[in-house]
Structure 1
């Protein structure tokens, strides 16, 4: 085997190992070899070799009874390093805690990754509810307040690419009409915040505002999420507190509004 061919093989193996690790989620924390092979489009023997290598380094663990694999503690160690060194987490932590104290609901920091919104930081309230927003969770852009907030400030070309993929309907409140969705994004830009009421999950509402980096570009969003019976996202005082928090975090990241 030539040098270039061998390098290609090694790079392909690394890529497949990373794809394998990313295939685990909160919805599917454990998987069998056959499940992984089918979802990744790889042979069972290839997946078995990758899992054996990852297991030797503590990145996956095999349950001897179920024969299923799950992520190992080495992943947790890396996650701790990443989250502790992220500037956005350091700067947003006290602001998120203050929001929780003021509003009484769970707060988050989210970022755009590919065509999803990913949660980087979270401070829970005293009485949290089951919501789809844990740290590391990927959620769709069009039916979350964080997603709509960040997307509204992106280039028109990216917005159109996202819409062309299709707006999946999660609840009866999900915006699936492209015209309505474009109008919603324009409103978000005009008012400086986004609201999602039972668009991703019934019984859950959220409000988010944009966070800018030192160049003025919207990179993140801060959001408050709670049950509809406990939190009214249209309440002016809540909207003002979320927008104020977004401005404070933006300033902490170096943004200065002239």
Structure 2
């Protein structure tokens, strides 16, 4: 068996162990080995690895293994994302109707912004469904919001690779981008006009979670001719208000904490 195949088999077995612990509640190494049809030493290595990552834990009295707190942490991350979608939906629908444009909810995911939900207004572009899409941080209003609320070290990490130029308006210089996101932090909203696509303008604001940390962003986007520079302050005020409403629904009643 090649190293790659062996690694895949180990991952598959570890995931199976998690499923078995979820099903049975508690299992000993001998029981796990029997259910997996592997040697006891292999089963021990698997649960030991899971234990190091807090995905499994050993009961002190009985010596059996059960699911660990790491599983709750992973589940909590998914629950938090679902919570943002559920608690923001009424606000985003209302904002989309008011502006007539597309309204999106995003979260920071790795080196991208991930779109979780979308509401379309009466004048919104058809066939532009962003849900599930990952988009670059430096060329979008949502992305700039996320960049504005990470630490200096995280910002450097997220902008270390060459920044791709999508249009002649895209910011590809990290120093200029840093100056812009500092303005985003100061003003409370971000704008991207013709930076990801020519003819598309978006305005975004940060959503604070119950601890005051930025948990996501909300944006309104539409054709640049419908959101020209002179209309941006009006749209921004409505987007910022929507972000605050969503933050209150998530349990935060102040402004997002500075990074």
TMscore range, shorter length: 0.5 to 0.7
TM-score (norm 2): 0.67
Equivalence for 1:241: 238
Tell me how far apart the structure 1 counterparts of residues 127 and 191 of structure 2 sit (CA, whole Å).
Answer: 16
State whether residues 120 and 136 of structure 1, in contact with CA within 8 Å, keep that contact through their aligned partners in structure 2: yes
Aligned partner of 1:218 among 214, 222, 240: 214
Equivalents in 1 of 2:83, 2:253: separation in Å?
Answer: 17
Q: Distance in 2 between matches of 1:197 and 1:118?
A: 19
* Root-mean-square deviation (Å): 2.5
Give the secondary-structure state (helix, strand or coil) at the position aligned to 1:126: coil
Aligned to 1:10: 9
Aligned equivalent of 2:27: none
Number of the residue aligned with 2:48: none
Q: Give me the whole-angstrom Cα distance separating, in 2, the residues matched to 1:213 and 1:152.
A: 16
Tell me, what secondary structure is at the counterpart of 1:164? Answer: coil
Aligned to 2:137: 141
What is the match of residue 91 of structure 1?
A: 87
Structure with greater Cα Rg: 2
Contact 1:195 1:233 in 2 (8 A): no
Tell me by how many angstroms 1:132 deviates.
Answer: 5.9
Distance 1:9 1:205 in 2: 44
1:118 aligns with 2:114: yes
Work out the CA distance in 2 between the residues paired with 1:219 and 1:172.
Answer: 31
The CA deviation at 1:86 is 1.0
Work out whether residues 112 and 135 of structure 2, in 8 Å CA contact, stay in contact via their aligned partners in 1. Answer: yes
Runs of 4+ that moved beyond 3 A:
5-9, 11-15, 130-133
What is the correspondence of 1:96-175 to structure 2 with a 5 Å cutoff?
Answer: 96-129=92-125, 134-175=130-171
Alignment TM-score, normalising by the size of structure 1: 0.67
Residues 67-86 of structure 1 mapped to structure 2, 5 A cutoff: 86=82
